[in-house]
Amino acid sequence: MLYYSMIYSHINYCLLVYGTAPASSFRNLITLQKRFIRALFNVPPLTHSDQLFKLAKIIPVKNVFKFKLLLTFVDKNKIAQKNYIITLSQLTRKIYNRNTRVENHVTYNIPIITKMYMKNSLKFCVPFNLNKHNLNTLNRKELIALCLD
């Protein structure tokens, strides 16, 4: 597909840098991606793009980082990348002293943040996204559908 060769390769190249940056930092990338998807479907410039992303099954720029992060933990072959992210984000498991309803869902400690910009750090966004979804039952297709919303 033309999108993956022309646009997605550039989005994927600096994923770790802009994935943890505030949305205002990559607003131009979002605009470019929306402009491309509208041109792909040959619709007017003011057409809402959410449905177009779902039709083309293209993950919006704002969700690509989340998709790649969760995919690393869902894919059983990416052990080295998973260990690198765990080390980089200083990920620690949360241990419960009592029995919980969901025993096989692993949760991680989310650090307390004092400034809003810290929400974009790997220390916060990695455990936050991992806790939000049960990765034991998730496969690649479900993950794509999750990130399209």
Q: Quick one: 37 and 72 in the same domain?
A: no
* Alpha carbon distance 47, 42 (integer Å): 10
* Residue ranges making up the domain that contains 48: 2-61
CB 91 within 8 A of CB 85: yes
Residue 144, sorted as left (phi over 0), alpha (psi -120 to 50) or beta, turns out to be: alpha
Question: pLDDT tens-digit profile of 11-65?
Answer: 888 787 777 777 777 788 889 889 999 999 999 999 999 999 999 989 998 888 8
Among 130, 11, 125, 13, smallest CA distance to 70 is for 130
Q: Quick one: 73 and 8 in the same domain?
A: no
Query: Would the pLDDT of 104 be above 70?
Result: no
Q: Quick one: 47 and 110 in the same domain?
A: no
Q: Quick one: 124 and 51 in the same domain?
A: no
Please tell me the total count of domains within the chain.
2
Q: Quick one: 115 and 139 in the same domain?
A: yes
Paired strand residues for 108:
93
Q: Quick one: 106 and 36 in the same domain?
A: no
CB 148 within 8 A of CB 54: yes
Amino acid residing at 84: Y
